[in-house]
Chain A
Amino acid sequence: MTSTDQQAFLSVRDLKVHFSTEDGIVKAVDGLTFDLEKGKTLGIVGESGSGKSVTNLTILGLHDRHRTAIDGEILLDGKELITARESELEKLRGNKMAMIFQDALASLSPYHTIGKQIGETYRKHTGASKQEARARAIEMLKRVGIPQPDMRVDDYPHQFSGGMRQRAMIAMALVCDPELLIADEPTTALDVTVQAQIMDLLKDLQQEFGTAIVFITHDLGVIADIADDVLVMYGGRCVERGTKQEVLRTPRHPYTLGLMNSMPTLDGPVDVPLSPIPGSPPSLLNPPSGCRFHPRCSFAEKVAGGLCSTEQPALEVVGGRGSACHLTPEQRQEFFADFAVSRHN
């Protein structure tokens, strides 16, 4: 995240996404700002209902337009996407910006061959012939490490293994060499050894093509592996952002800290209970007042005047680093002090 005045490649400014449902208005994203440069990876961390997936569907313009109210700015390479016409977005999708999803089996059409699905994107954006598209599909399958690509190109998704399907999906997303790749929990459904393969592949491809990647996950370990910058979302808002080192070494928001403490590790102590975050993620239909994390926050009562339940803390960003919390830096230092010890003993 740069703080220069120069326009970043992807720039999201005060994004608000609200949908109307039968029960009321869901504030899925409520004021989100971030920048992303080419060749960099932004990790967005959040749990269900944090608004992380909605954000990214909105960037591609894939939200339900009838039910959704959007406010703010999304600039891709200087082009405003929120107000863009559908036909303009169709030219960008799959071409300049592409997306890979979590569940590759559900996200690939069961009725078309892998090769056809990859080639289709290529034909749509380059006007290539069927033969050229097929050749391109084989090339892409080879690049993402599918064995015997010239045979597998005619297979259907259900004939692929889980890891291969995710590779095929990546091949499909990258077929037009997009400059922005949005990966929505792409490894969550995979086994760890396959996850390691896929993340390696993404890193290699990024190095080769300088793609900007938005990587959405709930797994801080995956973030540590792949991200340059990190944005932590809770209840539709960004609660903390900074470089990976900053966020993982010295978290500033109690939620980030809580997430890290609640995860068991491969070398931490085992005979003590884990430190979970109490309660459940908030409903976006009727979010808590003030700081949305305050009902689950163990520090809320330490803030004078019950500010946490009445006033929404502002996200103050200096040099790309910031958090939205009422705790003073001194308080934070005092309360978070144990953190480094408990992580790295």
Chain B
Amino acid sequence: MSNANPLLDVSGLTKHFPIKGGFPIRRTVGAVQAVDGLDFSVAEGESLGLVGESGCGKSTTGRLITRLLEPTGGKISYRGKDITHAGRKQLAPIRSEIQMIFQDPYASLNPRQTVGKIISGPMEINGIEPTGGREKRVRELLEIVGLNPEHYNRFPHEFSGGQRQRIGVARALALEPKLIVADEPVSALDVSIQAQVVNLLQQVQKDLGIAFVFIAHDLAIVRHFSQRVAVMYLGKIVEIADRDDLYGNPRHPYTRALLSAVPEATADDVPARERILLKGDVPSPINPPSGCRFRTRCWKATDKCASEAPPLVQVEGNKPGHLTACHYPETDGTVPAPRLSKDPQAAA
């Protein structure tokens, strides 16, 4: 919930990647509007889920928060301090407090370093010498993430995918961070392993009071992990709310469609929810639709949606903290949206 003193506060966050082109001299001819004006905050110890489909800008957002990317516009504050364009030196003390966990446990660990070296790396870089020495700390960390401390001298290839992701978690924990940005931390893992890592992250979050920005496309996992969830579409947040409000009372048509598309492992012949089949593809972020970006695939869209971008506000019927960017929000009693034609003609 919008805390008076949030750990992380983001307003109007924007990232446009320039596109080069033109003739005969190449110049910037346009921009991929990857992230376009995000407002959200994360309280201390809170977990915010960021969901959306590929290309919605959720990973870019993660990289902006950790300042792996330079924002084009907007403001990022960490503990009230503006870090939007902070340089290397200014970021140094904050870098240790904001850590990242990556998707690919195979690519994100240096294969030529031992586990001990990988996990103690952040301490070395930041010149931190914990009491009892770095090795002792690494062994503690291995224990925390459920690995054998004796494996200190092993190399990443000696571990399975799930174990490697645990190493990634241990590395992120090494500096006792206050905020971890986890970008699809389980999607590369086998189903039976995913739950192990989700449980580990959840335990870490609760025991150590670390705030999370949990980026994932799997709505069920995000629901399980996050207290608050933001749904992104084409670089914008279309809805943000407490978990139960978002999943129980989705007000944005896109949230509703997204939830309805998740296949459920039940054997009932009639599915619990009417499935809304969206037509066509997500439009290009180079040239997003005017007004509401979802309107080209929305069954409720009118002229107003094309001319006027809906603000992200607490629409009527929302609980406090539940914000929706839609001119015609769904209501709980809404007749399930019409089953749309399978013909994706519209989005050529």
Contacts and interface: CB of A to CB of B under 8 A. Distances in A.
Interface of A: 47-48, 145, 147-148, 161-164, 191-197, 199-201, 204, 218-225, 244-245, 247-249, 258-260, 262-267, 270, 273-278, 280-281, 296, 343-344
Interface string B261-286: 11111110001100101101110000
Given A192-B53, A218-B191, A276-B192, A200 B264 contact: no
Contacts of B192: 47, 258-259, 262, 276-277, 281, 296
| A-B interface, 8 closest residue pairs, ranked by CB to CB distance from nearest | A276-B195, A221-B263, A191-B53, A220-B265, A262-B195, A248-B267, A274-B195, A264-B224
A273 B265 CA distance: 19
A260 B53 contact: no
Given A47-B190, A47-B192, A280-B160, A195 B223 contact: no
Contacts of B223: 264, 266, 270
Contacts of A193: 53, 257-258, 261, 277-278
Interface stretch (B77-85, B137-145, B214-222): B214-222
26 contacts: A47-B191, A145-B342, A147-B344, A147-B345, A147-B346, A161-B281, A191-B217, A192-B217, A193-B257, A197-B277, A222-B263, A224-B263, A245-B267, A258-B192, A259-B191, A259-B192, A263-B195, A266-B219, A267-B272, A270-B224, A273-B202, A273-B203, A276-B199, A280-B162, A280-B193, A281-B160
A196 B193 CA distance: 25
A52 to B, nearest CB: 12
Contacts of B278: 193, 196-197
A172 to B, nearest CB: 18
Interface in B243-269: 243, 247, 257-267
Which of A200, A224, A280 is the most central at the interface, judged by chain B CB atoms within 10 Å of its CB? Answer: A280
Interface residues of B, number: 51
Contacts of B198: 264, 274, 276
A280 B165 CA distance: 13
A123 B22 CA distance: 40
Contacts of A199: 263
A335 B245 CA distance: 35
Interface string B75-118: 00000000000000000000000000000000000000000000
Interface string B327-348: 0000000000000001111111
A219 B262 contact: no
A163 B281 contact: yes
B250 to A, nearest CB: 11
A193 B219 CA distance: 12
A195 B263 contact: yes
A196 B267 contact: no
Given A193-B53, A193-B258, A274-B198, A221 B193 contact: no
B54 interface: yes
Contact of A192 (B191, B261, B345): B261
Which of B191, B199, B217, B221 is the most central at the interface, judged by chain A CB atoms within 10 Å of its CB? Answer: B191
A164 B261 contact: no
Interface of B: 53-54, 160-163, 190-196, 198-199, 202-203, 217, 219-221, 223-224, 243, 247, 257-267, 271-272, 275, 277-278, 280-282, 342-348
Given A220-B265, A264-B220, A273-B203, 6 more contacts: A48-B190, A193-B258, A221-B264, A223-B265, A264-B224, A274-B195
B265 A248 contact: yes
A345 to B, nearest CB: 13
B151 to A, nearest CB: 14
A267 B223 CA distance: 9
B348 A148 contact: yes
A260 B199 CA distance: 16
Contact of A280 (B163, B243, B260): B163
B247 A197 contact: no
Nearest to A270: B224
Nearest to B248: A267
Contacts of B267: 224, 244-245, 247-249
Nearest to A227: B267
Contacts of B282: 161
A196 B73 CA distance: 36
Nearest to B281: A161
Contact of A266 (B163, B247, B342, B343): B247
A247 B198 CA distance: 26
B275 A196 contact: yes
B156 to A, nearest CB: 14
Which of B193, B202, B267, B272 is the most central at the interface, judged by chain A CB atoms within 10 Å of its CB? Answer: B267
A258 B192 CA distance: 8
B280 to A, nearest CB: 8
B28 to A, nearest CB: 23
A260 B193 CA distance: 12
Given A47-B192, A263-B191, A196 B265 contact: no
B191 A270 contact: no
Which of A145, A247, A264 is the most central at the interface, judged by chain B CB atoms within 10 Å of its CB? Answer: A264
Contacts of A244: 267
Nearest to A234: B192
Given A161-B281, A276-B193, A147 B54 contact: no
A244 B271 CA distance: 14
Nearest to A278: B196
A264 B221 contact: yes
A244 B282 CA distance: 33
Contact of B190 (A224, A266, A270, A281): A281
Contacts of A277: 192-193, 195-196
